[in-house]
Structure 1
């Protein structure tokens, strides 16, 4: 009889907990969809401030704006964390053309890669050699490369459902292509934009010269996918064509910037910290709405949703808007360094940096027990069409927090259109859907609520 009583008590407790969780999650989604603030915040961030390249005036304006939002939210604490960030400026617009014969040219759209040096003042013109990979470059050797512009033309694999996997399969040519081509005497590098569709938008992104001396660094630019197709086809018809390009970018000394941080102090376990965040900086093309204005406003919305629904967290919930994810990761590194120095106990970190599209679920970086606990909550998300709970990468900015105690997770929206916009002039506010953005914020808040309620293993 006593055993039966224990079973009944446990069963009733589970039913009560299930009912409580369902009600709280429903309240979070209802508040987000009917009175959500994220879309309005993003509109101001994107259309009134615009692209927020690290070290720029716009980046500082974004710091001031988001701090003011957190100040007005009634949080327990809001502050700025100083971060030294690199300052790279694009300069006047880039220009390029394919010269198939003297006086016969076709203009193509390019954008300098972030961190690249400029071309000579009058621009750069040379023959072009096309390669599909850094390995193929090495196989050609100096004899075939010296004095030429190397054209990396490996496209993202359209057969992969996970577009981030397709992106990862090509990113090395953008990041390291100039450093590698320079070793063989190349005078410049042109990289096919990392984009699954054919269009005229060049996609920039970070690149590195490694340990190449400053005097030996060569200029690097991305070419639109339509431009890449034209250049490749023209090369096949006439391998002796030349490409001209001109860019005026420059690297300047590091400048002061900030991570923007706000928190609700936990009611029973304030020493246990849950982080939710995105990166406040963006590239200077477009206005950074999907990458990563969406993640920033969704993260702030998590805290607003808790306050609006009357939920008082047991653990400390902290929003962090990281600076300099795009070209240095200084913000994420500085945050983790200070957290470890202060011996803060971070138990969970959730990042949104995959665009403001329809949420599908989460990728989770955790031990097996914590992963299984999160998967056990899957039924609570099914009414909201959230189904993806798989082991995987949490995010770049929260990555430096990783140790053997923390659980990291990344919000995973539908990614099929993300790289149409990523790092390009096409990343603008008009391409963000209000309902999809708010669904993502509610999905993040729901997982944070469950971690706060049950802790980690």
Structure 2
């Protein structure tokens, strides 16, 4: 009799165990929430309209300018209008830079017959500089390219490609600030960057690895002007360039804008997920692509959570960073405040949206343990929207606000998608205007990122944990990013480590 009872009990337990499937229960709950998000964004999404209004009424959003201040106030008011009670400014000091005048003139040595070339200043260049010297072609500006001309470059002006043009040497491109740092390291007194986009497009961006003003002038010419200059150099090897620039710089206050959605679970609410993107832009156009599409997508993700009254387990902070373009200044200020308040360990994950457009997957930024989770959540998204590709890549990179969090060992991710070639050519350029933006593409970023954000904020566990000091060092070495961090003066582990 006892044996029969135990057998029956085993069967009951087996049936009960089989009936309980936590993954299936989670999937069913996520699918329902994802359907609500999908319907809300497709029916009532505001990212396209609010970005268009900001481009029209504010224009560019340069940190430290009156336009930058207006953008901060616009984002703050928008988040309040969406129903957030906890919206705050996070002020920080920044060395603001703005352009005044610049000219570039070229002539053969010992000639006064200078030819003017259309040019734009790179940011964080000197307040005043006037340099005349011979030009040395450094090609793509990778370290090997500088090594090849090291005996010629001291006291000269380096001619360097912004991107990579054939012949290509080395595994990856360097950021323009890193190329400028190398130019200074090898003794150059100025840098002329050549854009790699056709159509007489002029490009700007910071030339500083630290966020502070650099010591030499750095300017950019179009691809077409660069080709003409190189053809001239082949005929006249001793061409001289004269760079004459004036800029403005002063210490000002900028402000990140942060809206907080408190977590609903006592166990998880002290864990924080940050979803951020930089609100600031350069001043040559509207900054619609960089980074209007990212920051205004976040604003609409925040609206969507409020409209649906979503209450995930973990606390979410929706952050508009300022100062990213001038050296990740806003995210660095946020990390500094988190460290001072001993709250850094509460940040469990960070999503960064920088030029995120037409999302169809995510990059898990080198954290292998996150790939299965993103893939599984993506499969639920596909149940709601079969056209979602669920592409998951795992590549760590630098030069946006996620870098600041990665340096603290915090796992990060970003949406991946596509940008039309005619739009990407306007990156940091005088054609980065609202007419580049497509409503359905920005809505794709909003809905899929909102779904993934909710899933992550509501997950029972996040597989990737905050790494300690030495594990973070080992991570960057494994990702082959040490040299870039050293050039950017961000390697904090010392030369011997």
Matched, 1:2 2:12: yes
Matched, 1:26 2:35: yes
Matched, 1:249 2:256: no
When residues 309 and 201 of structure 1 are mapped into structure 2, their CA distance, relative to the original with a 3 A threshold, is same
Which sits farther off after the overlay, 361-370 or 79-88?
A: 361-370
Task: Measure the CA separation in 2 of the matches of 1:327 and 1:270.
Answer: 33
Which of these residues, 203, 224, 227, is aligned with residue 225 of structure 2? 227
Conserved? CA contact 1:126–1:147, under 8 Å: yes
Which sits farther off after the overlay, 278-287 or 235-244?
A: 235-244
When residues 158 and 347 of structure 1 are mapped into structure 2, their CA distance, relative to the original with a 3 A threshold, is farther
Secondary structure in structure 1 of the residue aligned to 2:204: coil
Task: Measure the CA separation in 1 of the matches of 2:362 and 2:335.
Answer: 22
Which of these residues, 68, 73, 79, is aligned with residue 59 of structure 1? 68
Which of these residues, 404, 409, 413, is aligned with residue 417 of structure 2? 413
- Higher Rg of the two aligned structures: 2
Matched, 1:264 2:261: yes
Secondary structure in structure 1 of the residue aligned to 2:72: helix
> What are the equivalent positions in structure 2 for 1:35-50 lying under 5 Å apart?
35-50=44-59
Residue 409 of structure 1 and its aligned partner are, at CA, apart by 0.8
When residues 19 and 228 of structure 1 are mapped into structure 2, their CA distance, relative to the original with a 3 A threshold, is same
Residue 331 of structure 1 and its aligned partner are, at CA, apart by 1.1
Task: Measure the CA separation in 2 of the matches of 1:159 and 1:436.
Answer: 35
Count of matched residue pairs? 439
Conserved? CA contact 2:79–2:303, under 8 Å: no
Residue 48 of structure 1 and its aligned partner are, at CA, apart by 1.6
Matched, 1:397 2:401: yes
Structure 1: give runs of 5+ residues left out of the alignment: 161-165
Task: Measure the CA separation in 1 of the matches of 2:303 and 2:381.
Answer: 20
Task: Measure the CA separation in 2 of the matches of 1:171 and 1:436.
Answer: 29
Q: Which residue of 2 aligns with 1:152?
A: 160
State the TM-score, normalizing by the size of structure 1.
0.86
Q: Which residue of 1 aligns with 2:352?
A: 351
Conserved? CA contact 2:104–2:119, under 8 Å: yes
Q: Which residue of 1 aligns with 2:235?
A: 237
Conserved? CA contact 2:194–2:222, under 8 Å: yes
Residue 159 of structure 1 and its aligned partner are, at CA, apart by 11
Which sits farther off after the overlay, 432-441 or 412-421?
A: 412-421
Residue 298 of structure 1 and its aligned partner are, at CA, apart by 0.9
Task: Measure the CA separation in 1 of the matches of 2:166 and 2:55.
Answer: 30
Residue 449 of structure 1 and its aligned partner are, at CA, apart by 1.0
Matched, 1:296 2:295: yes
Q: Which residue of 1 aligns with 2:456?
A: 451
Q: Which residue of 2 aligns with 1:325?
A: 324
When residues 171 and 286 of structure 1 are mapped into structure 2, their CA distance, relative to the original with a 3 A threshold, is farther
> What are the equivalent positions in structure 2 for 1:33-112 lying under 5 Å apart?
33-92=42-101, 94-99=102-107, 107-112=116-121
Q: Which residue of 2 aligns with 1:437?
A: 442
Task: Measure the CA separation in 2 of the matches of 1:443 and 1:43.
Answer: 21
Q: Which residue of 1 aligns with 2:476?
A: none
When residues 404 and 321 of structure 1 are mapped into structure 2, their CA distance, relative to the original with a 3 A threshold, is closer
CA distances 1:246-290 after superposition (whole Å, capped 9, x unpaired): 32224x232111110001112223222121110111111211111
Task: Measure the CA separation in 1 of the matches of 2:347 and 2:166.
Answer: 38
Task: Measure the CA separation in 2 of the matches of 1:394 and 1:349.
Answer: 14
Task: Measure the CA separation in 2 of the matches of 1:118 and 1:124.
Answer: 13
When residues 378 and 98 of structure 1 are mapped into structure 2, their CA distance, relative to the original with a 3 A threshold, is same
CA distances 1:403-452 after superposition (whole Å, capped 9, x unpaired): 88843111112156364121111211110111101110111101011112
Residue 19 of structure 1 and its aligned partner are, at CA, apart by 3.0
Matched, 1:188 2:190: yes
Task: Measure the CA separation in 1 of the matches of 2:54 and 2:211.
Answer: 36
Secondary structure in structure 1 of the residue aligned to 2:263: coil
Task: Measure the CA separation in 2 of the matches of 1:436 and 1:185.
Answer: 45
Residue 108 of structure 1 and its aligned partner are, at CA, apart by 3.2
Matched, 1:422 2:427: yes
Conserved? CA contact 1:86–1:328, under 8 Å: no
Task: Measure the CA separation in 1 of the matches of 2:46 and 2:158.
Answer: 47
When residues 340 and 177 of structure 1 are mapped into structure 2, their CA distance, relative to the original with a 3 A threshold, is closer
Q: Which residue of 2 aligns with 1:163?
A: none
Secondary structure in structure 2 of the residue aligned to 1:116: coil
